[in-house]
């Protein structure tokens, strides 16, 4: 079981952590949503929780809570630019479909 | 919510005041009521925040300044003060005239600094006296006199600032 | 899938609920927009990668062009290409005439004193021109961030008066932007620096923009940025350095000073380029008509020193107002493109006896600071780390008998601020009263800025002198004045009609809004209903959250029942009614029913803050 990230994603996360001045790493997870299934959670981590699984990729720590892990196992986090927009993208092999608005998915 | 200015900061009415402590309390409390905390809230909460902040800022402004603080303490004791120094204080009236004339003579920076130092000494003397007697009900009229003097000296200090600006030209 | 940003712990937004907020530096010469993404505050570039949007608007017959393309048209279509519009915001025609030699436009009078500019697209007010710039920035931000903005923090010079601020807010409204806060530019710069360096102590911000100069003295202490004093000159900026060069050229060339708009523009552009070139070169070539000459750095310094001396004077005054000695200043920060001129850095460094800080790009620092505050105000971070306590830059007062100005709120008073004054009637049965509000430091009204005339109506008829009318002047966190009045004997609140001296009337704004493309074709009633519904939903959400948090602790059963009833009523009206007025009334009823509760909650939170302070003391 693993969650990884691309070099581009790692670079951006390092920059953000430096700019923010604090943080152990990032948290990656899922939560249920009314729209159509699930949505990703992407947050900074200041205080890890003991139940978290920790992965390390390109020198950056990724924390995943036990419940989310089964839905995002094998996911690779990437950082891309689309037009003027730029941000993080989850390449998740478990995803079956996405909501039309592009904000939630189901597995 | 008609708390007195001191109560607002969790302090008992007093003339002696730790200004560092007051500032620290002010900053902590400002965090709780500043409109920025309610930028996202509905119009009513925003309005309340503005009122509370304005109230707190006014209380802080009064307590920070010794002359204002003294005046406020007397007002708390029910004393409604007319603010011009009157003929009831003849020796101070004379001093007022001397100080005003001295101020008009000033044309250079060393003189300004000397004047400011003298002014500060006078203020401190009145403040010390006030601090000693303001709680004594029997010496109320003396306390009033001291407050009027402090108000005058405060006003003079402002005029010194205006003079400094003119000198800077 | 939509692209994600990294959120603060526990703040990851639910889908469709991302709170996108930006900071906007609406400058005289250049404008920028910035936003905090994944914890980083960054300016947002356009499709060509440029972060700066020149504050230029070119009105063509069939299109409105904003930015670099508009700036390029300045000398070839000077009357329809508007630059430096910020200098016209909140100003009247007389002020304009003083600026006449720099701005070649054709002005006509509007309803109030506000001047309109004749363009091929019709008459445009400075507010509309600024709105066009803001629209371009808003579009860039929404495209880049991938969604609608919940709001923007827009910066203004600290020295902007009430009329100038109100004009800026009106422009934002026309551009469809929700203003989270009007933020003073030096304070914004202080935020960018302060957070960057985790600074503590006293900081001076020297901000020389294109058209305005600001100096602010702040104390930074545990995330609280407290402005101690602010000063400046809202009609002195980098543009004036250019003008000095232009005048010199005309003198050397012995040319007439009566220039056509195109000549004016072209000469000023050359002057600006020369100023920039002299940053690195020791001399620069200039030409005008048949004249050619060389401007040395030494000569340039002679030309601009008098202007710079004005800025230093403002610095000294601000220090006096702040009650801070030169030695107590821990750092001096340079803001604004014009601070790249070496002479500027020299004189400022000499005054403060220290090297001015320039590490954050002086063109971007204001937008970056504004975006950080926007992030806080939009609710994306806890906000415990940052609080800005700003001040009003100019005294507010009233016209009294004899044509004098009586100060009500002094300059450098921390805002929000409120002061009350009592008035009475002078005629039997008098039911109305006129109050003329001004801003400025001088005694004579003619030397101060007229802000507005407030007409109080609805005073209950009484014998002359019997009425006790308490007029409260309140300045909010944006630095804007609001006036309320109550007759104390009867408790009647007077209704207030505001006639701004240099601003747009509510009618003018309404007209501009309906004319703008944004609202064309949208049914007015449907929009009114939608607005009331949104307000009602927000109120319901806020009340329910408040009840969940403090309902048990702060309300009696009877009080709770009343509130629940008002909630039920509003929910019903909201679900069933298509009448905006009905929804509004039900929301008002809930608001009134929860007024006392809201006040108690705020008191409790203030006490908690104080208790927290006391506990800390004991632990030390």
DSSP-assigned beta bridge partners for residue B119: none
State how far the alpha carbon of C440 is from the alpha carbons of B100, C420, C444, in Å: 26, 19, 10
pLDDT tens digit string along C468-506?
888 899 999 999 998 888 888 888 888 777 777 787 877
Cα–Cα distance for residue pair C246/C306, rounded to 1 Å: 16
Distance CA C107, CA C473 (A): 34
Q: CA B138 → CA B85, B88, C350, C566, distances in Å?
A: 21, 17, 56, 55
Q: Do chains B and A touch (3 or more CB pairs under 8 A)?
A: no
Mean confidence (pLDDT) of chain C: 89
Task: List the beta strands (DSSP E) in C20-74.
Answer: 20-26, 30-37, 40-43, 53-54, 56-59, 64-66
- Nearest Cβ partner for A87 among C3, C8, C15: C3
Two structure tokens written together for C99:
């600026």
- Paired with C510 in beta bridges are none
Residue in B36, B58, B168 nearest the CB of C477: B36
pLDDT for C197 beyond 60: yes
Mutation target to probe the C interface, by most C beta carbons within 10 A, among B3, B20, B33, B45 is: B45
- CA proximity to B155, closest of B91, B72, B84: B84
Tell me the percentage of chain A whose pLDDT exceeds 90: 36
Closest residue on chain C to B11 (Cα):
C610
User: Closest Cα of chain A to C2: distance in Å?
Assistant: 5
State the average pLDDT over residues B19-44: 87
Question: How far does the CA of residue A85 sit from the closest CA of chain C (Å)?
Answer: 4
As a whole number of Å, the CA-based R_g of chain A is 14
From CA C144, how far away is CA C138, in angstroms rounded?
A: 10
The DSSP bridge pattern shows strands C387-389 and C224-233 to be parallel
Least confident segment among A20-34, A42-56, C61-75, C405-419: A20-34
Q: What are the E-state strand segments in C513-556?
A: none
Give the whole-angstrom CA distance, residue C507 versus residue C512.
9
Distance from CA of A25 to the nearest CA of C (A): 11
Closest residue by Cα to residue C419 from C497, C473, C457: C473
Query: Residue B47: which residues within 8 A CB-CB, separation 6 or more?
Result: none
Whole-angstrom Cα distance, residue C610 to residue C605? 9
Q: How confident is the model at residue B82 (pLDDT cuts 50, 70, 90)?
A: low
**Mean pLDDT of the C356-376 span:** 93
Both tokens of C30, joined, read: 């250049």
- What is the reported pLDDT for B6? 94
User: Region B123-140: what's the mean pLDDT?
Assistant: 92
pLDDT for C175: 95
Task: Indicate whether C161 pLDDT > 60.
Answer: yes
Nearest to C159 by CA among C99, C226, C236, C85: C236
3-state secondary structure labels for all residues of B74-132: HHHCCCCCCCCCCCCCHHHHHHHHHHHHHHHHCCCHHHHHHHHHHHHHHHHHHHHHHHH
Q: Residue B2 — pLDDT band, cuts 50, 70, 90?
A: low
Rounded to the nearest angstrom, the minimum Cα separation between A16 and chain C is 6
Q: CB count, 10 Å around CB of C313?
A: 16
> Binning pLDDT at 50, 70 and 90, where does residue C619 land?
very low
- Minimum-distance CB partner of C614 among B10, B27, B168: B10
What is the reported pTM? 0.86
For C10: left if phi > 0, alpha if psi spans -120 to 50, otherwise beta; the answer is left
C181 to B36: CB separation less than 8 angstroms, yes or no = yes
What is the rounded distance in angstroms from the CA atom of residue B105 to the CA atom of residue C565? 72
pLDDT, residue C15, reads 64
Residue closest to C3 by CA, chosen among C143, C105, C127: C143
Q: Which of A26, A84, A89 sits opposite C143 (nearest CB)?
A: A84
| CB half-sphere exposure, C462, CA atoms < 13 A | 18
| Length of chain B as a residue count | 169
**Chain length of chain C:** 620
CB burial of residue C503 (10 Å; 0-12, 13-18, 19+): buried
Q: Is the pLDDT of residue A43 over 90?
A: yes
Per-residue pLDDT band for B168 (boundaries 50, 70, 90) equals confident
DSSP code for C45: P
Amino acid A10: pLDDT: 93
- Considering only CA atoms, which of B11, B19, B56 is closest in space to residue B34? B56
Lowest-confidence segment of B83-97, C209-223, C308-322, C451-465 by average pLDDT: B83-97
Those of residues 6-45 in A touching chain C at CB distance below 8 A are 12-13, 15-17, 19-21, 26-27, 31, 33, 35, 39-45
Question: Does the pLDDT of residue B39 top 60, yes or no?
Answer: yes
Decide if pLDDT at C190 tops 60.
Answer: yes
Q: Which residue has the higher pLDDT, C454 or B111?
A: B111
First to last CA, chain C: 51
The pLDDT, as a whole number, for residue C184 is: 96
Spell out which chain C residues touch chain A, with contact meaning CB-CB distance below 8 angstroms: 1-12, 14-16, 37-41, 44-47, 140, 143-146, 198
Q: Are strands A4-5 and A76-82 parallel, antiparallel or unpaired?
A: parallel
Instruction: Report chain A residues whose CB lies below 8 A from the CB of C12.
Output: 31, 41-43
In angstroms, rounded to a whole number, what is the distance separating the alpha carbons of residues C304 and C82? Answer: 26
pLDDT at position C455 is 84
Q: pLDDT band at residue C235, thresholds of 50, 70 and 90?
A: confident
- Identify the chains in contact with A, defined as 3+ C-beta pairs within 8 A: C
Q: How far is B82 from chain C (nearest CA, A)?
A: 16
Shortest Cα distance from A47 to chain C (angstroms)?
9
B59 to chain C: nearest residue by CA?
C417
**Which of C5, C8, C16 lies at the smallest CB-CB distance from A103?**
C16
Q: Catalytic amino acids of C?
A: 25, 86, 185, 207
pLDDT at C618: 44
pLDDT tens per residue across span C541-589: 888 888 998 888 999 999 999 999 999 999 999 999 888 899 999 999 9
When pLDDT is cut at 50, 70 and 90, the band that residue B86 belongs to is low
* Backbone dihedral angles phi then psi of residue C355, each to the nearest 5 degrees: -70, 125
Most confident by average pLDDT, B96-105, C412-421, C609-618: C412-421
- Give residue B50's pLDDT: 93
Q: Does residue C430 carry a pLDDT above 50?
A: yes
Residues of chain B with CATH 1.20.1280.20: 90-168
C-alpha to C-alpha distance for A65 and A51, rounded to whole angstroms: 6
CATH 1.10.287.110 fits B5-64, yes or no: yes
Q: Can you say how many angstroms the Cα of residue C20 is from the centroid of all Cα atoms in its chain?
A: 20
Say if A50 is an interface residue toward chain C (CB within 8 Å). Answer: no
Judged against a pLDDT cut of 60, whether residue C519 lies above it is answered with no
Interval C300-326 mean pLDDT: 95
Please tell me the predicted confidence (pLDDT) of residue C465.
Answer: 87
Q: Which residue has the higher pLDDT, C301 or C605?
A: C301
Q: What is d(CA A88, CA C10) in angstroms, rounded to the nearest whole number?
A: 18
In whole angstroms, what is the distance from residue C567 CA to residue C543 CA?
9
**Residue C620: predicted pLDDT:** 42
Name the token pair of C572: 């019903």
SS3 readout for C36-101? EECCEEEECCCCCCCCCEECEEEECCCCEEECHHHHHCCCCCCCCEEECHHHHCCCCHHHHHHHCC
Percentage, residues of chain C above pLDDT 90: 56
Q: Looking at beta carbons, which residues of chain C come within 8 Å of A19?
A: 39-41
pLDDT at C493: 83
- How far apart are the C-alpha atoms of C450 and C95, rounded to whole Å? 12
For position A32, what pLDDT does the model report? 76
Q: With beta carbons less than 8 A apart as the criterion, state whether C211 and C316 touch.
A: no
CB B49 within 8 Å of CB B37 = yes
Q: Looking at beta carbons, which residues of chain B come within 8 Å of C413? A: 57, 61
**What pLDDT is stored for residue C343 in this prediction?**
96
Which residues of A are less than 8 Å from C144 in CB distance?
84-86
CB-based contact A88 C6, cutoff 8 Å: yes
Number of Cβ within a 10 Å radius of residue B121: 10
Residue C42 binned pLDDT confidence (cut-offs 50, 70, 90): very high
CA distances in angstroms from B139 to B15, B82, C582, listed in the order given: 16, 17, 62
DSSP state string for C411-470:
TT-BSSEEEEEEE--SSTT---EEEEEEESS-SBGGGSEEEEEEEEE-PPP-STTT--EE
Q: CATH 1.10.287.110 residue ranges in chain B?
A: 5-64
Helix axes C524-554, C595-619, angle to 10 degrees: 50
Mean pLDDT of C246-272: 89
Q: Higher confidence at residue B90 or residue C79?
A: C79
Express the helix, strand and coil content of chain B in percent, nearest 5 each.
75, 0, 25
Q: What is the pLDDT of residue C333?
A: 94
Query: Are the C-beta atoms of residues C111 and C508 closer than 8 Å to each other?
Result: yes
- How far is C-alpha C258 from the geometric centre of its chain's CA atoms? 35
pLDDT interval class at A20 (50, 70, 90): confident
The CATH number, out of the four listed (3.30.70.2740, 1.10.1060.10, 3.40.50.720, 1.20.1280.20), of the domain defined by the range B90-168: 1.20.1280.20
pLDDT, position C257: 81
| Distance separating alpha carbons of residues C521 and C107, to the nearest angstrom | 31
Q: Return phi, psi of residue C452, to 5°.
A: -170, 160
Q: Report ipTM (2 d.p.).
A: 0.90
Task: Write the residue in C151, C316, C383 that is nearest to B168 by C-beta.
Answer: C316
Bridge partners, C124 (sequence order): C117
């Amino acid at each position: 079981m693993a969650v990884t990230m691309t070099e581009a994603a790692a670079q951006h996360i390092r920059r953000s952590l430096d700019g923010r001045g604090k943080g152990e790493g990032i948290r990656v997870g899922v939560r249920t949503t009314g729209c159509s299934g699930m949505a990703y959670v992407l947050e900074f981590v200041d205080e890890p929780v003991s139940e978290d699984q920790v992965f390390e990729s390109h020198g950056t720590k990724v924390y995943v809570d036990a419940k989310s892990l089964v839905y995002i196992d094998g996911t690779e986090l990437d950082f891309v630019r689309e037009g003027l927009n730029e941000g993080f993208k989850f390449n998740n092999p478990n995803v079956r479909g996405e909501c039309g608005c592009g904000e939630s998915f189901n597995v | 919510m008609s708390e007195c200015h001191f109560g607002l900061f969790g302090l008992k009415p007093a003339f002696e005041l730790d200004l560092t402590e007051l500032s620290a309390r002010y900053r902590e409390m400002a965090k709780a009521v500043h409109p920025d905390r309610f930028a996202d809230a509905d119009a009513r909460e925003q309005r309340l925040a503005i009122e509370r902040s304005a109230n707190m800022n006014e209380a802080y402004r009064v307590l920070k300044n010794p002359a204002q603080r003294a005046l406020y303490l007397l007002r708390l004791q029910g004393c409604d003060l007319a603010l011009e120094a009157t003929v009831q204080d003849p020796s101070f009236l004379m001093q007022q005239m001397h100080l005003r004339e001295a101020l008009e003579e000033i044309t250079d920076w060393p003189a300004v600094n000397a004047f400011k130092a003298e002014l500060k000494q006078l203020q401190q003397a009145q403040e010390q006296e006030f601090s000693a007697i303001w709680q004594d009900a029997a010496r109320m009229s003396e306390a009033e006199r001291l407050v009027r003097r402090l108000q005058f000296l405060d006003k003079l200090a402002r005029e010194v600032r205006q003079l400094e600006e003119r000198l800077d030209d | 899938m939509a692209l994600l940003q990294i959120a603060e712990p526990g703040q990851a937004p639910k889908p469709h609920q991302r709170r996108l907020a930006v900071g906007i530096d609406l400058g005289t010469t250049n404008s920028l927009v910035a936003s905090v993404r994944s914890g980083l505050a960054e300016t947002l570039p356009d499709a060509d990668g440029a972060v700066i949007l020149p504050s230029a608007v070119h009105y063509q017959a069939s299109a409105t062009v904003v930015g670099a393309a508009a700036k390029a048209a300045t000398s070839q279509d000077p009357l329809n290409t508007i630059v430096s519009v910020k200098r016209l915001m909140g100003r009247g025609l007389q002020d304009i005439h003083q600026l006449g030699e720099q701005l070649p436009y054709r002005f006509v009078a509007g309803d109030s004193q506000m001047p309109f500019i004749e363009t091929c697209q019709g008459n445009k007010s400075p507010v509309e021109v600024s709105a066009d710039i803001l629209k371009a920035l808003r579009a860039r931000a929404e495209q880049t961030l991938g969604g609608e903005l919940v709001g923007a923090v827009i910066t203004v010079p600290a020295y902007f008066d009430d009329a100038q601020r109100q004009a800026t807010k009106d422009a934002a409204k026309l551009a469809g932007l929700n203003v989270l806060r009007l933020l003073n530019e030096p304070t914004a710069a202080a935020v960018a620096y302060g957070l960057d360096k985790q600074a503590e102590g006293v900081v001076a911000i020297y901000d020389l923009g294109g058209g305005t100069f600001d100096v602010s003295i702040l104390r930074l202490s545990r995330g609280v940025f407290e402005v101690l004093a602010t000063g400046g000159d809202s009609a002195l900026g980098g543009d004036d350095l250019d003008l000095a060069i232009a005048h010199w050229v005309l003198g050397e060339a012995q040319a007439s000073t009566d220039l056509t708009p195109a000549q004016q523009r072209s000469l000023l552009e050359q002057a600006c380029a020369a100023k920039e070139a002299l940053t690195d070169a020791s001399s620069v070539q200039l030409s005008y008509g048949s004249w050619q000459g060389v401007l040395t750095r030494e000569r340039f310094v002679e030309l601009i020193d008098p202007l710079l001396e004005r800025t230093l004077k403002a610095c000294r005054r601000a220090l006096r107002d702040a009650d801070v000695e030169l030695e107590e200043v821990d750092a001096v920060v340079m803001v604004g493109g014009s601070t790249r001129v070496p002479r500027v850095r020299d004189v400022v460094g000499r005054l403060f006896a220290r090297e001015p800080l320039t590490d954050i790009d002086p063109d971007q620092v204001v937008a970056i600071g504004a975006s950080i505050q926007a992030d806080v105000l939009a609710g994306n971070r806890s906000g415990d780390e940052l609080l800005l306590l700003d001040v009003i830059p100019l005294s507010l007062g009233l016209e009294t008998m004899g044509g004098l100005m009586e100060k009500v709120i002094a300059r450098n008073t921390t805002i929000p601020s409120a002061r009350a004054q009592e008035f009475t009637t002078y005629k039997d049965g008098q039911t109305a009263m006129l109050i003329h509000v001004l801003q400025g430091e001088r005694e004579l009204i003619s030397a101060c800025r007229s802000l507005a005339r407030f007409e109080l109506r609805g005073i209950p008829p009484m014998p002359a002198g019997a009425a006790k009318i308490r007029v409260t002047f309140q300045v909010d966190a944006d630095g804007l004045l609001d006036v309320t009045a109550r007759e104390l004997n009867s408790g009647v609140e007077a209704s207030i009609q505001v006639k701004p001296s240099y601003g747009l009337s509510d009618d003018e704004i309404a007209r501009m809004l309906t004319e703008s493309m944004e609202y064309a074709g949208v049914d007015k009633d449907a929009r009114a209903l939608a607005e009331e519904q949104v307000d009602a939903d927000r109120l319901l959400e806020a009340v329910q959250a408040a009840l969940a948090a403090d309902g048990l602790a702060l309300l009696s059963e009877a009080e709770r029942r009343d509130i629940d009833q008002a909630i039920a009523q509003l929910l019903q009206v909201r679900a069933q009614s298509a009448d905006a007025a009905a929804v509004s009334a039900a929301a008002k009823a809930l608001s009134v029913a929860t007024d006392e509760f809201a006040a108690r909650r705020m008191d409790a939170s203030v006490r908690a803050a104080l208790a927290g302070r006391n506990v800390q003391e004991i632990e030390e």
